[in-house]
A = this chain, B = another copy of it.
């Protein structure tokens, strides 16, 4: 087991990465203060792991669970209310600990429910997908979607700990694994050229799920993210770089309807679009863009926009993004492979060219 630390003063917490962690009752129990826990999971994960986690906890704690429908299209206020229904029906007090057992959607919803229930109760992240292990479980961003925009309703709320059991990746389907690799590749692109090159060398083994390679990729991604979050918890600066590909990607997710395309798939396309605009600005070469696309394709990811995404549609959807300031869409672009910047002084005509180039 590897242990990393997210350094946030009194809100600091550990990330545990390793095999067989879901059943380690003592590891889990040391991060639960009160008498009760409520496990939030979904219909896909619950048959695989819920019983195991309940068994680890039920001797020491009063346990309840909520099984949500699986998919980004259910990440909304209505479904969130099912968590509150369960907590109140179980008469759980402010001393309850919520446990998010599942992927990014479960983590975002359980985290936001914990932020709001009785104005805040503790929670633990137990991510079971590659995407949530390398990205969404770390850093305290929680949210639900609104019909008009992704992650528009939420809170910054840090967990007590993150427990990433790499055994759970064995049951992940190929599309989900690739979706997680998109966020892994993102860390390389942002500020870690060595890691990007390591990924180029090991992408075949990662797609083949070699455990040692996956563990290494998860630990390195979490370390990169923990460093950035420790520096800028509330995204006033460097943290915004983690949104590489996300402004384009969120537009695709919202435009296609939540659940049609996986988050990592949309981010992969978004990163290619950001690379394309960066090339038009003269920062990346054609070779750089080809190299980025090649790695994404090798990871099993799409690099073209889905049918139906028009340039006008992109502009419409991107203009409600959280990173809009004074009416200008701020984008994360690439000065080089391994060097992202936040920019609002790109040429609008070049953004229009990129959107036209990717129009479908």
On A, residues with C-beta under 8 Å from B are 35, 77-78, 80-81, 84-85, 88-89, 91, 93-95, 115-120, 141, 143, 146, 148-149, 152-156, 234, 319-320, 322, 324-326
Tell me the smallest distance from the CB of A283 to a CB of chain B, in Å: 26
Q: How far is the CA of A154 from the CA of B112 in the complex (A)?
A: 10
Q: Which residues of B contact A80 (CB under 8 A)?
A: 77
Q: Which residues of B contact A234 (CB under 8 A)?
A: 120
> A319, B91: Cβ atoms under 8 Å?
yes
Q: Which residues of B contact A89 (CB under 8 A)?
A: 148
Tell me the smallest distance from the CB of A246 to a CB of chain B, in Å: 14
> A322, B115: Cβ atoms under 8 Å?
no
Tell me the smallest distance from the CB of A92 to a CB of chain B, in Å: 9
Q: How far is the CA of A89 from the CA of B296 in the complex (A)?
A: 35
Report 14 cross-chain contacts, Cβ distance below 8 Å, ordered by A residue.
A84-B152, A85-B146, A88-B146, A88-B152, A93-B325, A116-B116, A116-B153, A117-B153, A118-B154, A118-B322, A119-B154, A119-B156, A120-B234, A155-B155
Q: Which of B35, B94, B143 contacts A322 (CB 8 A)?
A: B94
Q: Which of B77, B85, B322 contacts A148 (CB 8 A)?
A: B85
> 15 other contacts beyond A89-B148, A116-B154, with CB at 8 A cut-off?
A88-B146, A88-B149, A91-B320, A93-B322, A93-B325, A94-B325, A95-B326, A117-B153, A118-B152, A118-B154, A119-B155, A119-B156, A119-B322, A120-B155, A120-B234
Q: How far is the CA of A293 from the CA of B16 in the complex (A)?
A: 58
Tell me the smallest distance from the CB of A116 to a CB of chain B, in Å: 5
> B84, A153: Cβ atoms under 8 Å?
yes
Task: Label chain A's interface by main secondary structure.
Answer: mixed
> B155, A116: Cβ atoms under 8 Å?
yes
> B115, A155: Cβ atoms under 8 Å?
yes
> B88, A148: Cβ atoms under 8 Å?
yes
User: Which 6 pairs across A and B sit closest by C-beta, in order of nearness?
Assistant: A88-B148, A93-B324, A118-B322, A119-B154, A116-B153, A77-B77
> B95, A325: Cβ atoms under 8 Å?
yes
**Closest partner residue, chain B, to A143 (CB atom):** B119
Q: How far is the CA of A350 from the CA of B29 in the complex (A)?
A: 37
Q: How far is the CA of A156 from the CA of B155 in the complex (A)?
A: 11
**Closest partner residue, chain B, to A115 (CB atom):** B155
Q: Which residues of B contact A94 (CB under 8 A)?
A: 322, 325
Q: How far is the CA of A234 from the CA of B119 in the complex (A)?
A: 9
**Closest partner residue, chain B, to A62 (CB atom):** B327
Q: How far is the CA of A154 from the CA of B120 in the complex (A)?
A: 8
Q: How far is the CA of A118 from the CA of B84 in the complex (A)?
A: 21
**Closest partner residue, chain B, to A116 (CB atom):** B153
> A84, B325: Cβ atoms under 8 Å?
no
> A120, B156: Cβ atoms under 8 Å?
yes
Q: How far is the CA of A2 from the CA of B51 in the complex (A)?
A: 60
Q: How far is the CA of A120 from the CA of B142 in the complex (A)?
A: 12
Tell me the smallest distance from the CB of A331 to a CB of chain B, in Å: 14
Q: Which residues of B contact A81 (CB under 8 A)?
A: 77, 146
Q: How far is the CA of A337 from the CA of B38 in the complex (A)?
A: 41
Tell me the smallest distance from the CB of A206 to a CB of chain B, in Å: 32
Q: Which residues of B contact A155 (CB under 8 A)?
A: 115-116, 119-120, 155
Q: How far is the CA of A91 from the CA of B148 in the complex (A)?
A: 10
**Closest partner residue, chain B, to A119 (CB atom):** B154
> A141, B119: Cβ atoms under 8 Å?
yes
